[in-house]
């Protein structure tokens, strides 16, 4: 039995987004218990030139949704990048998970060699379905999820490796 592009992306994104939602709930509780404003955590960055926590969640969500859209040719409703609260971020994660759960497992079948174009402000980048998923989408998704985790951990939120990995 072989793994499909769907198997190595969509279910992985769903699981990790669920873990991220749980981490955000721990972060909210930590902020409330410590008397830290939610905005202080939501706007936190690891370094001045890095995006804040809210943007890390947005990029993880976008990467997951765009993978299904670009490789699986599945329509994804746009989500505005306007989250300003934990509730907003939880709603975005929930919407992303719901959209991903609606993606047919067969949508990526036979798309390993299909051309996938990533349009960026500077240039268009061409991938195959396989290289897009394995060399760009999954690493990019985990970059943003890990950065969100790291921001919160750096700010003192008591989360650890098992929070990141989820129940194993």
State pLDDT tens for residues 73-109: 999 999 999 999 999 999 999 999 999 999 999 999 9
Query: Quick one: what percent of the chain has pLDDT higher than 70?
Result: 99
Mean pLDDT of 30-57: 97
Joined together, the tokens standing for residue 152 give 């919160």
Instruction: Give the model's pLDDT for residue 3.
Output: 86
pTM (two decimals): 0.95
Mean pLDDT of 7-15: 98
Instruction: Give the model's pLDDT for residue 168.
Output: 67
* Radius of gyration over every alpha carbon of the chain, rounded to an integer in angstroms: 16
What gap in Å lies between CA 104 and CA 116, rounded to an integer? 19
| pLDDT band at residue 167 under the 50/70/90 scheme | confident
* Placement of tokens 């300003």 in the chain: 84
Mean pLDDT of 49-76: 97
Mean pLDDT of 67-78: 95
**Residue 8, pLDDT above cutoff 70:** yes
What gap in Å lies between CA 80 and CA 91, rounded to an integer? 12
* Placement of tokens 């650890």 in the chain: 160
Mean pLDDT of 140-145: 98
Write out the E strands in the chain: 115-119, 124-128
What domains can you pick out in the chain, each with its CATH number? 10-165 (1.20.120.450)
Q: Using CA atoms in the order 87, 88, 94, 96, what is the torsion angle rounded to 10 degrees?
A: -160
Mean pLDDT of 57-74: 97
Mean predicted lDDT score pLDDT of the chain: 96
**Residue 1, pLDDT above cutoff 70:** no
């Amino acid at each position: 039995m072989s793994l499909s592009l769907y198997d190595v992306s969509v279910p992985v994104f769903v699981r990790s987004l669920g873990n991220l939602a749980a981490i955000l709930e721990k972060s909210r509780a930590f902020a409330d218990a410590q008397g830290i404003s939610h905005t202080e955590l939501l706007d936190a960055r690891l370094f001045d030139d890095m995006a804040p926590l809210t943007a890390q969640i947005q990029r993880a969500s976008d990467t997951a949704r765009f993978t299904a859209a670009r490789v699986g040719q599945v329509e994804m409703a746009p989500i505005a990048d306007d989250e300003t609260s934990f509730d907003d971020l939880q709603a975005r994660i929930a919407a992303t998970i719901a959209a991903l759960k609606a993606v047919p497992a067969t949508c990526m079948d036979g798309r390993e060699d299909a051309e996938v174009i990533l349009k960026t402000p500077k240039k268009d980048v061409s991938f195959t379905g396989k290289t897009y998923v394995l060399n760009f989408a999954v690493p990019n998704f985990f970059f943003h999820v890990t950065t969100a985790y790291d921001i919160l951990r750096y700010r003192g939120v008591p989360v650890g490796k098992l929070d990141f990995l989820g129940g194993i």
